């Protein structure tokens, strides 16, 4: 008897959920957009699409451009003088962590794969202090326009990635990447030039 009741209730609830999918999706996105807007210090454009509530930590010194797409479970943190600037048309995939104590700048049209870590500071070991209590050394990160960053990449402090570059999945970027270069590996090294692939539109 209990199984029959469960089955019938499940069918009714499933039908209601199917019919309300579009409405619930819109509401989730509005709620996530509002949550992000409340957590940052700068105005959030209405064109930004937030598919799931991001986690905002620290000072909220974050600037987000128009038509940005944020997938669920994005973590954004700014501490001290740190800032995060995300340009127009950028895509930030699920599980990405962007943490700044200096500055992280991501230019227009860049796409960032799942579970990527972008952190502009490294912990130090200070004599007489615990590891947790030791200082950080922070240096700005600059990521150019139309950069493609694969899944699981780590971008370390002080790195500049040039326009139209590509970073292969799971790479550790510890040094600058020139424009239109493909890098991969640990540490990331150049494996191909995209100069011949780049088409300049009028």
Q: Any idea which residues carry the catalytic annotation? A: 123
Q: Which of 182, 22, 35, 164 is nearest to 107 (CA)?
A: 164
* Per-residue tokens: 184: 């991969």
CA distance 37 to 172: 31
To the nearest 10°, report the CA torsion of 160, 165, 169, 172: -20
Terminal CA-CA length for the chain: 70
| 60 touches 76 (CB < 8 A) | no
Q: Is 90 helix (H, G, I), strand (E, B) or coil?
A: coil
Q: How many CB atoms lie within 10 A of CB 56?
A: 18
Whole-number Cα distances in Å, 153 to 38, 119, 185, 197: 29, 11, 10, 23
Whole-number Cα distances in Å, 168 to 58, 99, 110: 30, 21, 14
Residues in a beta bridge with 192: 182
């Amino acid at each position: 008897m209990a199984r029959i009741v469960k089955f019938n209730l499940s069918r009714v609830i499933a039908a209601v959920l199917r019919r309300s999918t579009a409405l619930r999706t819109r509401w989730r996105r509005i709620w996530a957009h509002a949550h992000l807007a409340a957590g940052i210090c700068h105005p959030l454009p209405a064109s930004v699409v937030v598919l799931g509530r991001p986690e905002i930590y620290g000072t909220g010194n974050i600037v987000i451009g128009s038509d940005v797409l944020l997938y669920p479970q994005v973590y954004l943190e700014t501490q001290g003088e740190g800032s995060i600037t995300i340009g127009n048309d950028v895509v930030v995939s699920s599980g990405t962590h962007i943490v700044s104590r200096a500055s992280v700048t991501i230019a227009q049209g860049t796409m960032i794969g799942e579970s990527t870590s972008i952190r502009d500071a490294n912990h130090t070991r200070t004599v007489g202090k615990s590891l947790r209590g030791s200082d950080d050394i922070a240096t700005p990160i600059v990521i150019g326009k139309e950069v493609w960053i694969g899944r699981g990449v780590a971008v370390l402090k002080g790195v500049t990635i040039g326009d139209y570059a590509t970073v292969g999945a799971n790479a550790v970027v510890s040094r600058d990447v020139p424009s239109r270069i493909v890098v991969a590996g640990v540490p990331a090294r150049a494996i191909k030039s995209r100069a011949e692939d780049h088409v300049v539109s009028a």
